[in-house]
Amino acid sequence: MSGAARWLFLSDLHLGVTDDDARHPGTVLSAFLRREVLSAPGPLPHVAFVGDTFELVGCSGEGSVARLEAIRNRHPGTFEALEACAARGVQLHFVCGNHDVELARPAVSARLAALLSPAEPGRVQVHPWFLHVPRILVAEHGHQHHALHRIPEVLRAAVSGTDGLDLPPLAAWTADPSRSRLRRAGALAQACLGSERAERRVREPAYANLLQAESSRLGLDGAAVLDLARLSRFRTVSALPAAAARMALAAAGRSAAGGKAPAAAAKVAHTLEAHGAGVAWYISGHTHRAVESALEASSTRYVNTGTWCSDIRGRGPDQSDRQAFPYAVVDVARDGATSGGLRYWRPEAG
């Protein structure tokens, strides 16, 4: 590490073609960027969005680009603030989540870069799988470790688009709720079979070639990337009961409890350590629960950045105070030492 650096992480804004969320995450993001990035003293930080930044799910082909442009038209102030950051030299990172995996499409990522940094597109980086800063941090959305949202062949999106990717089981169930429960159950069964087939393809030579190319981009050993890709796996026998439990909780207006790091976070940390590539921080989103905790038998610190939308599922201050918006900070000293953790930002206080 040649010099000091600051990283800001936030996730799950779910910006869509409407602006009916009571917390107005797009408007709040614009204020956050202008106060905490553009007007803050010191060197400009990296700003990383850890998945589900945009609502692009269900789009295909040119529809993804059109949807992104429609979101931009609905949230002009948000995009203007992001563009101002890029123009000042801020590096913007977008990690793909299960709601915006379409960002991995070359045409969509290129359009995002053109919208946010037309003069210097390289200021906008899209990470189909995860973001890795050697020895410092790993940031991934987290859906790859959740069977109901897992997309086994996620790297194919950056090569051939998302049209050929198997639909995750929960997405198959929730798609087109006007259909009968029987037809939706059939779609769920088909999605499970598709995910099982995709898991087998992940272990074939063709996908190994994609992993090898990704290892070069990530700055990680190929064997480490292969182990990370196989760390979690979709299994119908466990996914279906999980889907049933989730639907039962949703019907009762509840969500699964959780206030600590998931087992997958520790597995990622231990896998990296086993390959001599341990990191100080593991950042994720997806659960909509803002959490910071230690990882078992690891020096890696876990932070989940929660959500800026109204669908909060944690028990932190953002649940009781809807003007508290979670994010994570990682400060890196010149000698590589790090500090930071989970923070809450309030628009009225800055």
- In this prediction, residue 252 carries a pLDDT of 60
For the chain, helix (H) and strand (E) counts, in that order, are 12, 11
d(CA 235, CA 40) in angstroms, rounded, equals: 47
d(CA 273, CA 133) in angstroms, rounded, equals: 14
- In this prediction, residue 1 carries a pLDDT of 44
- In this prediction, residue 14 carries a pLDDT of 97
pLDDT digit string, tens, across residues 303-340: 999 999 999 998 899 999 999 999 999 999 999 999 99
- In this prediction, residue 47 carries a pLDDT of 98
Q: Taking residues 284-307, what's their average pLDDT? A: 96
Q: Taking residues 249-257, what's their average pLDDT? A: 59
Q: Where are the domains of the chain?
A: 5-168+258-345
pTM of this prediction?
A: 0.91
* Strands of 46-50's sheet in order across: 124-127, 92-95, 46-50, 5-10, 325-332, 338-345
pLDDT digit string, tens, across residues 164-207: 666 676 666 665 666 777 777 777 778 888 888 889 998 899 99
Q: Ramachandran region of residue 328, left (φ > 0), alpha (ψ -120 to 50) or beta?
A: beta
CATH number of 5-168+258-345: 3.60.21.10
What share of the chain in percent tops pLDDT 90?
67
